A and B are shown apart, each in its own frame.
Chain A
Amino acid sequence: MKIARNALTFSALLALAPPPAFADGLMVQDPWSPAAPPGAKVHAAYLVLQNHGDETRTLIGVQAEGYRAASLHESRMTDGVMTMVAVEQIEVAPHGALELRPGGLHIMLMGPTEARSEGDAVPIALEFANGEALKTQAIVQRNKTHASHGHAGHAM
C-alpha cells in the first residue's frame, strides 16, 4: 500500500473517525478496554492487529492518552499460577494477526489521570520498530467473554 507514506498524518486523520485504523498494511480491529471499577489504578486494553503487508512488523511499544504509562504485557499461567510479564516486542508475521485478549497479551494502562465511563474512547498509539505509529481508540465497554450466551440445550 502506498497511500500511507506518512503514517502519522494518515493515522492522525483516522483518529477522527472510529476504528478500524490502518497504517501501511496494518489494521486494528475491535480495540476495547473493559469498563473498570471507579478508583481502579490499572486498566487493560485489547485489540486485534492484522498485518496485511508482505513484511514482518514488530510492535515495540504503546502509548495511551489519559494514563501515567502504558505497556505491553502478557498474562501467563504456569502450573496454575497467573503471572504477568512485560513484553519488549512482538512480531506480527506477514498476512498474520496478533490477538490481544483477556488472559493473554494485553495493553496495560497504568495510573488513569481522569475518570472514564462506558462508551469513552481511550486514544492509543501502537509503535513499531520502523518508527511508524498506528493510532486507534479503545472503546470502554463491559467485559466481553468468549463464551456464547445461547441458552440452547439445557440438559437439566
Chain B
Amino acid sequence: MKILVFVAALLMAAPAAAQVNGVQLDAPEALPEFALTDHFGRDFSKQNLQGGWSMVMLGFTYCPDVCPFTLGNLEHVVAEMSLRVRPQNLPKVIFLSVDPDRDREGLKDYTSYFHPDFIGVTGDKPEIDTLVEGLDAFYRFVPKGEDYEVQHSASVSVIDPDGMLRAKLQPPFDPGPTAEFLSRIQIEYRKEAAK
C-alpha cells in the first residue's frame, strides 16, 4: 500500500508535548464490499461509510487498556472537531469488533457507553477480514491458557464521504492536534472536490 508518511506539522499554538501522528495516503483507496452488522442488528456495509466522514478503529471488548482509552480519546476528538467543522462534517466513530464470538451480545452497551452516537460493528469472520484488509489493518488471536487474547492494529482509519480510505491516525490521538489534522484533511478534500 502506498502511503505518504507525514507527521503533521504542529500548529504554532499547539503545546510542545501534544502531537498527532497522521499518515495520509498519497491516493485515497476504495474499500471493498463487505456485509457486517451494527450494534442495533442492522446491516452495515460499505454504503454506511459513505455520505459523511468516518473513523474506524479495530478492537475487542475484553481489551482493558488500549481500546477504552482510544474510544475515550476519539470522543474528545469529535468534541474538539465540533468547534471546527460543521455538524454534518463531524466524523462517525465506528468500533469494529474483530472478536464477534465474545462481543456480539454486549456490543451496543459497550460502544454506546463511550458516546451514544458511536457505532459498534461486527459480523462473520470472512466479512470482518475483508474490511480489515481494506483498511490495511491487521489482527490475530493469540491463545493464552484456555483463553485467547486479540492483537490488533492500533491505528484509526479515516474514511472520506466517498467511502475512500484517506488517512490513518496512530496513537496517542491527542484530541486537539488530531482534530486539527482531520479538519485540514477535510479542507483538502473539499478543495479537490471543487476542482
Contact = CB atoms under 8 A, between A and B. Distances in A.
A145 B178 CA distance: 13
Nearest to A84: B149
Range for the number of chain B residues in contact with chain A? 35 or more
Contact of B62 (A42, A73, A80, A153): A42
B113 interface: yes
Contact of B152 (A43, A81, A151, A152): A81
Interface string B101-127: 000001001110110000000000000
A83 B18 CA distance: 24
A38 B73 CA distance: 19
Contact of B110 (A39, A84, A145): A39
Contacts of B100: none
Contacts of A80: 138, 153-155, 170
Contacts of B171: 77, 103
Nearest to A45: B64
13 contacts: A37-B110, A41-B62, A80-B170, A81-B138, A84-B149, A108-B65, A143-B68, A145-B73, A146-B17, A147-B176, A147-B177, A148-B18, A150-B15
Interface of B: 11-15, 17-18, 61-66, 68-69, 72-73, 76, 83-84, 106, 109-111, 113-114, 138, 142, 149, 151-155, 170-172, 174-177, 180, 183, 187
